[in-house]
Structure 1
Amino acid sequence: MRTRFSLHLLALAPLGLVLTSPVTAAASMDNHVITAKAPVDATRYSGTVSVLTADDIRRSGATTLSRALQHLPGVYLSHTGNVSQQAPRIRGFSHEQTLVLIDGKRVPNTDRNLSFAPAYRYNWVPMSQVERIEVIRGPGSSLYGADAMAGVINIITKKASSQWQGNLNGSLGHLDGSHQNDDFGAALRGPLGDKADLSLSVSERNEDAIKDDNGASLTSDMRSRTLQADLGFDFNTDNRLELGLLYGEEKGGDIDISDFMGTTYTSDYRLDQTRRRLSADYLTRLGGFDFQAGASQGKADLTEGRSDWTIDEDNYQLELNGALGTSQHLNMGLQHRRETVSRSDMNFHEQVDATTLTLQDIIALTSEHSLTLGLAYDHHSKYDAEFSPKLYWNWQDDSGWGLRAGYGQSYLAPSLREGSSEYVIQAGPFRRYEGNDDLQPETNRTYELGLSYIQPDWRSKLTLFHNRIDNLISTREFQQGPVTVARYSNVNKAQTQGLEAEFDLNPTEHSRVSVNYTWLDSQNRSGPHDGKTLVDTPEHLFKVRLEHDLPRHDSTLYAAWRYTGSQYTNAINSDKLDAYQVVDLGLGTRLGAHAHMRFGINNLFDEVIEQGGELLEPGRELKLTLSADF
């Protein structure tokens, strides 16, 4: 299957060898950053990117996307939403400001369009069916348009090959106390004759609620199911049709709440979500370029307590990609998105259309130097048009030294509820939230400078970044009689800047060491909190991973340490959460030729970190994972 794509990548090999690192050129055809939409690996990407493979995820024991990402530089987890779910944050930005893709396609952005910014975009596919995860830290608007202000998370799932393959997997976790979680998954993929292929996977996850000493819920109990189906047809070596379905159900139980007297009662809040995404893509050759035409339809129906939401997102895309001569690689895209949000319990309905034209040209100036020029033009049905340029220079020499410098802009339109005066919601008898027709998009200007040194057995990398964010959306409060009105407004300017240092080493054939450190400086630049540090942005992140294979026992030892520095928990910087650290241990072993078992102890020293009713670290967890391939 997919002969056309491998042949055309080989046709680009001369350009690819220029654009990829000399150290990794031999393997570059297999290590392209798919999210870059060009034949470049991570060393030549015009920005900062981290790649997690299926083996990385398996060795870490992660069964959720957030847990898989927590050891990456510049990334940390926060809890958000009414059911308190984990969400990854990049370089101090909110999780809402990151674009999430599955196989390069959007999913409905429930995080931005629902109240209280829940984290519902991260459980569409189980980790056992993920081939790799690419995380771009920095603006991605020049390729993907709006929503990619903080970065891009692209989840790439496993695809069918020329032989039938299958997988069964399950895990059981036990937290100190009564909390348990379990998940199960199955997958089957392979050819249907000579011209077609099929991939199927299903999963189910169950998680008990975590409660404090008074019986109040820190997290809700959750039950989720997913289904993924992909069908491909190869009409000939140059023409392919791909059809896809993602479907999921997620249910959360009632939440027990403690009042100020310490009395615990059960609220009528519960979650009931059904989501799906249908997609169709046609891939062919046009004028010497790869051409792709695609459409996807995403829909999420949610009940949160007494709130009934429907979020629809329809996307249409044309893309032309390929070499222009012997020294340039061109990508041109046209995207149209229609987004609709309805809340039936308050007769709220809003719809917007956005059209984005993107252009990226990677120019190989010499065998060592390349220049990336990017530009996106966004036309929004409600807001002024936006241009998002990108300029990036890369240098990589034969000895392994590399240097890169770049500038990029990105923007994020207000969510549909924030940007509509029709959105008015009561929060008790004396408080009200209101949308605002006069909002403007948030914008960001990013500067990056990076230095790297790569050798066959070790790699080091240093990145400096600076973000200047304008028109940040928050609430501005005013009195209207006895009622406090919180209206969404462009009230803030902010900046985040810092340093990311990475070091990877293979000290022996069977050992791997990964160390990264992030220094993050953030502050408001306007309003009553001018000069104050942004909320929930730790100044220091320090992470270490150690892996050692035991060939005689067909096993792998795993150890990880995470340090999260202190962080302010309110805008006036009067309350602070102290620094904390977490240690994870694991042992994975093969059981015969086709099975694998892993036992892990997460949070070995039982660090329970709670802040304002949000559970950042739940304590020690014992985790057993079993999988079988056939």
Structure 2
Amino acid sequence: MKGKQKKIVLIILSFIFTFSASIALADNKINRLDDIVITGTKTQHTLQDVPVETIVITREDIQKKNSQNIMDLLKDVPGIQTSYHNDVFGTYTWLAKMRGLDFNSGYALILIDGQRAMGCGQSGGMGEYGVGINQIPVEMIERIEIVKGPGSALYGSDAMAGVVNIITKRAPQKATGSAGVAYGQYDVKRENSDGSEEDANGSRKMSKTYVSYGDRITDNVGYFIHYNYESADDIAEDPVKSWKHSFLGKLDAKINEKTDIFLKTEFSDYEKEDNREEDSYRLSGIIDWHLSQNHSLSLKGYTYNWDFTHGYPGYSYGYKYGDVGYHQAELQYTWDINNWNTLVLGGETQLQGIDYTIENDDGSVVSVNEDVKTSSLYIQDEAVLLDKLTLVGSARYDHHSTFGKEVNPKFSLMYQPQETTTIRACFGTSFKSPTIRQLYYNTPYRHGSFYAQSNPELKPETAVGYGVSIEQWFMSQKMMVDLGYFRNEIEDMVISEDTGTLYNGLTLMRYKNVEKAWTQGIEFMCRAYLTDELTASFSYTYTDTENEESGKELTYVSRHSASFSPAYDWDKYGIGVSASIAYNSKQYTNTDNTQQIDAGAVFDAKIYKQLSKTAKLSFEADDIFDSVPARDGSFHAGRTFTAKLDIEF
């Protein structure tokens, strides 16, 4: 272990010791179990009585963290590995995993306000098929709900490992405004094969500006608008500026005692100098009918479109342009049969379209114009028995225009032997349809240092997932400990395999189904709300993976990962501090497991000062010890400093 890493491990241990000792000082009751969540069952539950394993990141959590993007918010969640990502706008997030499976490849479903999100360069996804986590600026977020375990029974394809629902701010009950600016500076490092690093050309800069306002037009009608501007230099040998304008608008209206309407619009405009342009917009609406005390009906619809141009004619990595879209409508009926039984019935239709062209530098053209339609029905029955045992059975039927029917059931159990102890377990199946890139491209396309070839004979991936966890609260609900086990067994997993031939002088890769792969592991989390001022969290994940065809581990998965994040507020002086230490063990970068990224730990810190009742100044430092390990030859951000000013009015 390198000297810096030893030093950081000692810091982690000392923090944990201090954290454990400070529990005895706690004397104020802080209860977050009344937070309302909806993602896990599509019905409202408090965090205490939700029957599926759910973690919530609140607005208060977001304000205490070093959080330039969503990736940084998730690194404390056990089971989620954000690896050694760059906390800089516009950088890719394709290494992020949930229970050993890629977000970028669609194994964990990303939702925004309950609606599917498509990844792209501006969100950290790789190419037109990727699903990046950094979908929207953190200033727009009210909270994030993370639901673990197979989710196809309610959400269909792409929810094998779980669901991350990013929930944006709503219209306030009274006139409320906020604004802020941020400015940061960082160096870019290049990792050499001998483990040494070298600086790229000069230091880089990033900045952010936002403003939002909301109010009630009448007692029954409210609105909220938010604008963000972000910019940064690229993580590459030479600085290349990228920037993004984001807009969010919401309107809610109570038409009468039985009818509520929610409307939302989102726009974004992203550009990377001389290389990339992307525009996206999302329009959505929800009508809720409260038919009676026990019956409700909800009609939801949205359209999401993303237009993009990547590269330019003659660009060595290809000139790519086109658009991708999601269009969806859903009808859900909820019947509270009695105090202990709730039935949910729903139907959904979804259309994913792509009209996309790649002009390779060899003159060949890849052209795809495909529509994929999925029609679905789902049912869920939730029963509470003897006030201690909750059983949830759910199933979903999907008809995919390419692959035909899929049926995925799920069974969940929650047992509370006492008020402070909760045992949760689940078992379910899930599926993931191959992407349009994996299926339909008629010509190999350039992807970095190789060419990739589609395979129209691919089959959908299917999985069986199960898990069990026990959650225990101590000290009048000021400290929570959660320990769990999970396993995913995946059939026909799609991988990219070297064909052993060259195409235009580069390696030709082809997509194929492997017979079986699995991931399994242990997750541990401890959260403590020790006093009104002192909070802390510790998480640890052990993840084991295997591609059974080769007997090798899956790529970019750390067997051991851990994080520790304490925070303290001196309300009397208007000062707060927070820190985060994240550790990841080695991870293999190729399917043969012959190349790897070494183990390492990253230390971040933040200090903030309340200048007045409405203004707060903060300073953030990421990777203080400049210790991020990386792939051989890759560029990454080094030590980063950011200053922020936030104002409420």
Same fold, TM-score > 0.5, yes or no: yes
**Structure 1 residue 398, shift from structure 2 partner:** 2.7
Q: 1:442 aligns with which of 458, 461, 468?
A: 461
Query: More relative contact order in 1 or in 2 (CA 8 Å, sep 6+)?
Result: 2
SS of 1:535's partner is: coil
Q: Is the 8 A contact 2:492 2:514 kept in 1?
A: yes
Name 1:341's counterpart in structure 2. 354
SS of 1:57's partner is: helix
SS of 2:404's partner is: coil
SS of 1:185's partner is: strand
User: Aligned in 2, Cα 1:423/1:237: closer, same or farther, shift over 3 Å?
Assistant: farther
Q: Is the 8 A contact 1:142 1:358 kept in 2?
A: yes
- CA distance in 2 between partners of 1:416 and 1:482 (Å): 21
Amino acid of the residue matched to residue 549 of structure 1?
D
Show structure 1 runs of 5+ residues with no match: 1-23, 212-216, 255-269
User: Aligned in 2, Cα 1:424/1:556: closer, same or farther, shift over 3 Å?
Assistant: same
Q: Give the number of equivalent residue pairs.
A: 582
Name 1:330's counterpart in structure 2. 343
- CA distance in 1 between partners of 2:427 and 2:327 (Å): 31
SS of 2:101's partner is: coil
- CA distance in 2 between partners of 1:135 and 1:406 (Å): 15
Q: Is the 8 A contact 2:120 2:127 kept in 1?
A: no
- CA distance in 2 between partners of 1:546 and 1:481 (Å): 52
- CA distance in 1 between partners of 2:536 and 2:618 (Å): 20
Q: Is the 8 A contact 1:38 1:329 kept in 2?
A: no
- CA distance in 1 between partners of 2:240 and 2:392 (Å): 46
Q: 1:494 aligns with which of 502, 517, 535?
A: 517
Tell me the alpha carbon deviations over residues 449-495 of structure 1, each in whole angstroms, 9 at most, x when there is no partner. 11121121211110000110111112345467977653322125211
Q: Is the 8 A contact 1:500 1:519 kept in 2?
A: yes
Instruction: List aligned pairs for 1:199-210, cutoff 5 A.
Output: 199-210=224-235
SS of 2:228's partner is: strand
**Structure 1 residue 502, shift from structure 2 partner:** 0.9
- CA distance in 2 between partners of 1:201 and 1:571 (Å): 44
**Structure 1 residue 419, shift from structure 2 partner:** 1.9
User: Aligned in 2, Cα 1:384/1:79: closer, same or farther, shift over 3 Å?
Assistant: farther
Name 2:304's counterpart in structure 1. 298
Amino acid of the residue matched to residue 501 of structure 1?
F
Q: 1:196 aligns with which of 221, 233, 241?
A: 221
**Structure 1 residue 238, shift from structure 2 partner:** 1.2
Name 1:178's counterpart in structure 2. 203
Q: Is the 8 A contact 1:351 1:416 kept in 2?
A: no
User: Aligned in 2, Cα 1:100/1:493: closer, same or farther, shift over 3 Å?
Assistant: same
Name 2:164's counterpart in structure 1. 153
Residue 618 (1) aligns with residue 637 (2)? yes
TM score, norm. by length of structure 1: 0.86
Amino acid of the residue matched to residue 407 of structure 1?
F
Name 1:259's counterpart in structure 2. none
Q: 2:543 aligns with which of 498, 520, 528?
A: 520
User: Aligned in 2, Cα 1:199/1:553: closer, same or farther, shift over 3 Å?
Assistant: same
- CA distance in 1 between partners of 2:299 and 2:643 (Å): 43
Q: 1:32 aligns with which of 37, 45, 50?
A: 37
User: Aligned in 2, Cα 1:34/1:573: closer, same or farther, shift over 3 Å?
Assistant: closer
Name 1:135's counterpart in structure 2. 146
Q: Is the 8 A contact 1:281 1:294 kept in 2?
A: yes
Deviates most, 532-541 or 434-443: 434-443
Name 2:101's counterpart in structure 1. 93
Q: 2:117 aligns with which of 104, 107, 112?
A: 107
User: Aligned in 2, Cα 1:207/1:27: closer, same or farther, shift over 3 Å?
Assistant: closer
Name 2:272's counterpart in structure 1. 252
Residue 310 (1) aligns with residue 318 (2)? no
- Aligned alpha-carbon RMSD (Å): 2.8
Instruction: List aligned pairs for 1:382-421, cutoff 5 A.
Output: 382-420=402-440
User: Aligned in 2, Cα 1:97/1:117: closer, same or farther, shift over 3 Å?
Assistant: farther
Name 1:49's counterpart in structure 2. 54
Name 2:623's counterpart in structure 1. 603
Name 1:462's counterpart in structure 2. 483
Show structure 2 runs of 5+ residues with no match: 1-28, 188-201, 312-318, 359-365
Residue 66 (1) aligns with residue 80 (2)? no
User: Aligned in 2, Cα 1:459/1:84: closer, same or farther, shift over 3 Å?
Assistant: closer
Amino acid of the residue matched to residue 329 of structure 1?
T
Deviates most, 592-601 or 30-39: 30-39
**Structure 1 residue 289, shift from structure 2 partner:** 1.9
